[in-house]
């Protein structure tokens, strides 16, 4: 939890200064998300600027299999709980 | 370098400017000019990296060197071959990239001097760099398969770089009689887009099934296993029974020579005369990588996976199909993910710090039919100098998924292409 709160704080400080995505260095794994996810995408949900807790719990549900998905169940298993927390916090700060 | 002098003492200032320039040459940090990053290659890797660099540090001096004004994307080009998609949907330009403050140079890079840190261009001019990113993609090896050279490719298209070759294969397929045989010749690993030949076979089979049902497709493979194999083979049985024959290496699938004049493909066991021969030859990193000295004996480029920097030449990073990325496949998704990791590492290195270990994701969709998608995904981190799979993560779509899941993955595949196209070029 401490990691999550710290990265949240860092994320919030950096985000306000920046007009475009990704000005704060993304935590491990997070830079890859934009290959599929975008604010404009229709079929694949936008994950940017969403509430960090919501993103975190969704990713954790993909990871433990309680929420079905096509590909995200396979991807979420590649990240620890801490890493998922950092990614969710960073995504929340992005446009 | 672009400082303007408004004084009358021109000679003095010119001398001073020259002194500053030579100081800058010796040590970029002394002159307060922004760090210079040159990116060579305008595909999914290079264009992504140029953009990511400027997003991470808008003060960077970023130059993107591309061979052409237009980029023709490979993902989804198999749909063009099968007649389900216009080539225009594959075409991208760099105009919007230029509006982001990135300098565009449309020329072939011909020489690289790693000591002086310069890139020599076709018109004789040079670009200086503090960090150089090479994203040259692949070169087709026209010396690897007897009979298959550049001239042969006009008769037996590879269609493994999208554009005119894609359209050539499309035309040959259209001109083929019902009852004709088309062969796809597949090289040994590693090569660009591991599931690509099998997606191509699937979509061509879809075309044949509806338009030329007496025809046949044969895959002559230099391997005994391939990406998403069980998913492809199950789908072929379901959708195209009897239409696709896969001949593995151990069954004599390896093509040892070709004769373009007679459309003949020769293996150790048989000779195949076919109406359409799609020959995908062995590959290596794009030529500029060899010129830079970053290729090894394999023809590909070893890198440090934390920074994507060459293990052979300092200050040169190699991303995308050209690099040796271990478990990461040579895909547009990988190139894009590596580009963003590389950009972060370069910004960190230029600040004097050390990049931390990254994690990267790859997802590759393949279409078995226009509404039937399958995928393979992976999560990777540096281990022993390569990108290694994180165990327990990744893998393919389930074998027993209902058609609704296949349909959804086909929609996701199209959505991925829209999104990545916009992120990189839009």
Over residues B394-422, the pLDDT tens digits come to: 999 999 999 999 999 999 999 999 999 99
Judged by average pLDDT, the poorest of A10-14, B149-153, B258-262 is A10-14
Inter-chain residue contact A70 with B409, CB threshold 8 Å = yes
Q: Do B415 and A36 touch (CB under 8 A)?
A: yes
Res A58 pLDDT > 50: yes
Bridge-based pairing state of the strands B395-396 and B372-383: antiparallel
Q: Given a cut of 80, is residue B191 above it in pLDDT?
A: yes
The number of beta carbons lying within 10 Å of the beta carbon of residue B34 is 15
Quick check: B422 contacting A, CB < 8 Å? yes
Q: Is B336 within 8 Å of A5 (Cβ atoms)?
A: no
Question: What residue spans define the domains of chain A?
Answer: 2-17+33-92
Written as one string, the DSSP assignment of B230-285 is HHHHHHHHHHSTTTEEEE-GGGT--EEEEETTTTEEEESS-EEE-SEEEE---EEE
For B391, nearest residue in chain A (alpha carbons) = A78
- Phi and psi torsions of A65, nearest 5°: 85, 0
Higher pLDDT pick, B214 / A17 = B214
Alpha helices in A1-95 (DSSP H): 2-15, 52-64, 72-76, 81-92
* Residue B56 in tokens: 């991470």
Kind and range of the H or E run holding B20? helix B10-26
Hey, what domains does chain B have and what are their CATH numbers? 1-27 (no CATH), 34-137+286-425 (3.50.50.60), 152-282 (3.50.50.60)
Q: What percent of chain B has pLDDT over 70?
A: 92
- Give per-residue pLDDT as tens, B251-290: 999 999 999 999 999 999 999 999 999 999 999 999 999 9
Q: How far apart are CA B256 and CA B268, in angstroms?
A: 7
What is the reported pLDDT for B293? 98
- Taking residue B217's Cβ as centre, other Cβ atoms within 10 Å add up to 25
Task: Look at residue B5 and tell me whether its pLDDT is greater than 50.
Answer: no
Which of A23, A32, A75 is closest, CB to CB, to B56? Answer: A23
Residue in B closest to A38 by C-alpha = B419
Of B336, B379, B419, which is closest to A38 when you measure between CB atoms? B419
Smallest CA–CA separation between B420 and chain A, in Å? 5
Q: Which of A7, A23, A36 to substitute to test the interface with B, most B CBs within 10 Å? A: A36
Dihedral over alpha carbons B413, B418, B424, B426 (to 10 degrees): 180
Residue of B nearest to A29 (CA): B359
Chain A positions touching B348 (Cβ under 8 A) are 25
A75 with B394: Cβ contact below 8 A: yes
Asked if omega into B31 is within 30° of 0 (cis), the reply is no
Q: In B, residues 363-402, which contact A (CB 8 Å cutoff)?
A: 363, 375, 377-379, 381, 390, 392-395, 397
Mark yes or no for CB contact A41/B415 under 8 Å.
yes
Question: Which class is A2-17+33-92 in CATH?
Answer: mainly alpha
Q: What pLDDT shows up at residue A41?
A: 82
């Amino acid at each position: 939890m401490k990691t999550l709160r710290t990265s949240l704080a860092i994320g919030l400080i950096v985000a306000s200064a920046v007009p475009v995505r990704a000005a704060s260095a993304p935590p491990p794994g997070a830079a890859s998300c934009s290959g599929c996810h975008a604010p404009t995408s229709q079929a694949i949900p936008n994950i940017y600027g969403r509430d960090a807790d919501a993103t975190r719990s969704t990713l954790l549900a993909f990871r433990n299999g309680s929420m079905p998905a096509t590909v995200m169940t396979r991807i979420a298993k590649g990240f620890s709980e801490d890493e998922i927390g950092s990614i969710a916090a960073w995504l929340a700060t992005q446009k | 370098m672009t400082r303007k002098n408004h004084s009358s003492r021109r000679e003095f200032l010119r001398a001073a400017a020259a002194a500053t320039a030579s100081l800058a040459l010796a040590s970029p940090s002394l002159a307060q000019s922004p760090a210079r990053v040159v990116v060579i290659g305008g595909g999914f890797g290079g264009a992504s990296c140029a953009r990511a660099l400027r997003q991470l540090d808008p003060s960077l001096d970023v130059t993107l060197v591309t061979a052409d004004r237009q980029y023709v994307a490979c993902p989804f080009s198999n749909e063009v071959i099968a007649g389900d998609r216009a080539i225009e949907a594959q075409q991208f330009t760099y105009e919007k990239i230029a509006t982001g403050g990135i300098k565009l140079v449309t020329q072939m890079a011909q020489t690289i001097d790693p000591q002086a840190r310069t890139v020599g261009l076709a018109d004789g001019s040079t670009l200086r760099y503090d960090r150089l990113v090479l994203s040259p993609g692949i070169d087709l090896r026209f010396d690897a398969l007897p009979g298959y050279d550049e001239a042969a490719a006009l008769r037996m298209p590879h269609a493994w770089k999208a554009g005119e070759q894609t359209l050539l294969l499309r035309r040959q397929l259209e001109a083929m009689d019902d009852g004709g045989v088309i062969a796809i010749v597949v090289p040994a690993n590693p090569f660009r887009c591991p599931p690509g030949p099998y997606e191509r076979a699937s979509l061509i089979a879809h075309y044949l099934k509806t338009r030329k049902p007496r025809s046949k497709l044969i895959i002559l493979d230099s391997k005994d296993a391939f990406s998403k194999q069980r998913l492809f083979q199950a789908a072929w049985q379901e959708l195209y029974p009897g239409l696709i024959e896969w001949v593995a290496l151990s069954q004599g699938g390896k093509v040892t020579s070709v004769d373009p004049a007679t459309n003949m493909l020769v293996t150790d066991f048989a000779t195949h005369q076919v109406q359409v021969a799609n020959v995908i030859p062995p590959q290596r990193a794009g030529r500029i990588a060899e010129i830079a000295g970053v290729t090894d004996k394999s023809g590909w480029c070893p890198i440090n996976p934390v920074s994507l920097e060459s293990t052979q030449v300092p200050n040169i990073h190699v991303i995308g199909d050209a690099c040796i990325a271990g478990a990461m496949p040579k895909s547009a998704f990988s190139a894009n993910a590596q580009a963003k990791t590389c950009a972060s590492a370069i910004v960190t290195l230029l600040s004097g710090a050390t990049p931390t270990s990254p994690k990267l994701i790859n997802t590759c969709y393949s279409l078995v039919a226009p509404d039937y998608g399958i995928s393979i995904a992976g999560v990777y981190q540096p281990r022993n100098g390569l990108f290694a799979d994180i165990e327990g993560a990744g893998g393919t779509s389930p074998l027993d998924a209902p058609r609704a899941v296949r349909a959804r993955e086909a929609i996701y595949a199209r959505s991925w292409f829209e999104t990545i196209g916009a992120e990189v070029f839009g």
